[in-house]
Structure formats: C-alpha cells, structure tokens
Chains A and B, each alone.
Chain A
C-alpha cells in the first residue's frame, strides 16, 4: 500500500520569498508522483509529475520538485512567490496495482502569500 504525507496544512510566505511545500511518500514499489494545485471553487490542476526520467521535475507557473529516493520525498519549490500562487496544493503517489494505477492523495497544504 502507498501513502502520502504533506507536512503543514497551512504555509505562509511573503511575496517574493521562496516557496517550499513538503511531501513524503511511502510505497513498496517505484512510484509515480504528482503535484496538483486547487484554486478556490475549482478542480485540481496538474502542476508537474515525476516519471522516473529525471529527478528534478519542472512544472507550470515556475514550480519544480525534486525526487529524493533516499529521503522518500518529493518537495515542491518556487524561488519567488506571487500573490497568484495562493491556493491549495496536493501531492499524490501512484502505483500500479492489479494492472491499473491507484492514486493516493495527500491532505493538502494551503499556501498563503502575504503582500
């Protein structure tokens, strides 16, 4: 079975500061990993995904994440926060089970950007 832990249900950063959202996973087989963003009253939008091709993954809106197998982590970062980054972010792990992929989502981290 796989699981995802997102440390910090709420994170506040100043505009222009580094954004770091933490995600740790547990999986008995090599996983695929995803970050999604959810703006108020909207569905989840894919930010980026780890496919084992490269450990540093670049996504949309200037976000990137690094897969660290030794730390079982997939933290999301952005060098400089914008007001428009305020949203909820979800980390997800996907493994192949019984011929199809099962996705498990974390509980989410709400990012607040302070002017």
Chain B
C-alpha cells in the first residue's frame, strides 16, 4: 500500500463510451501524474499537475482529458478511445524530499478498448 489508490482497477469500454479514471493520494503530496504503460514500451508520461496546475502535457490526444480539482485527486476522462489506447494507466504522486522528488505509484487501471 503506497498511499495512492486508483479506481476502477479494470475497465472495458467501447470506442463510443465515455468513462473516467480516478486517482487519490493520501500522502500530502503536491504533484500528481498520469502515465501510460503499454507492453514492450517505456512508461509514457501523459500529464503532470503541480499544486493543481497542469505543468506538462506530453502531446496527448484530446480524447484524454485530465482534471485535478485539488492536490489529492486526479481524474482522467476518456472519450472516443481507440483500441491502441488499451494499456495500464498509472497514477503517481510526489513531494520534494531533500531536493529529490520521489514518485509513488498507484496500482493502475487496466483499460481494454474494444
């Protein structure tokens, strides 16, 4: 248990559906991240929020829409996804620690797009 929870753990959706992934951190951190993990590819950083402000968007398609209402919660809204979007979506949070940010990860949401 890392203090970062994600729901749902598994999600199957059609290409026309709209769904949301939720992440909550109980560590008092001020930064939160969304990553995409696909087979045989490095972790892909999607979005970064620092103090609720989006500080990075790595050219992610607009069918992925993040929302960070406060420093403890992070959402990823999904709509009109493609089969190639099937992957494990990981949320992480971090806090400065003697000048080093260590990221703590949630268990992930396994997404399958049909």
Q: In the complex, which residues 41-90 of chain A have their Cβ closer than 8 Å to any Cβ of chain B?
A: 41-46, 49, 51, 90
Given contacts A34-B102, A49-B102, contact A42 B41 (CB under 8 A): no
Given contacts A105-B43, A107-B41, contact A44 B100 (CB under 8 A): no
Q: B residues bordering A, Cβ < 8 Å? A: 2, 4, 6, 31, 40-43, 45, 48, 50, 55, 90, 92, 94, 98, 100-108, 110
A interface residues, tally (CB under 8 Å): 22
Q: List 30 A-B contacts (CB under 8 A).
A: A9-B40, A32-B100, A34-B102, A41-B108, A41-B110, A43-B4, A43-B6, A43-B92, A43-B105, A43-B106, A43-B107, A43-B108, A44-B90, A44-B105, A45-B2, A46-B104, A49-B100, A51-B98, A100-B31, A100-B48, A100-B50, A100-B55, A100-B101, A101-B100, A101-B101, A103-B103, A104-B42, A107-B40, A107-B41, A108-B42
Q: Are B101 and A94 in contact (CB under 8 A)?
A: yes
Q: Are B2 and A103 in contact (CB under 8 A)?
A: no
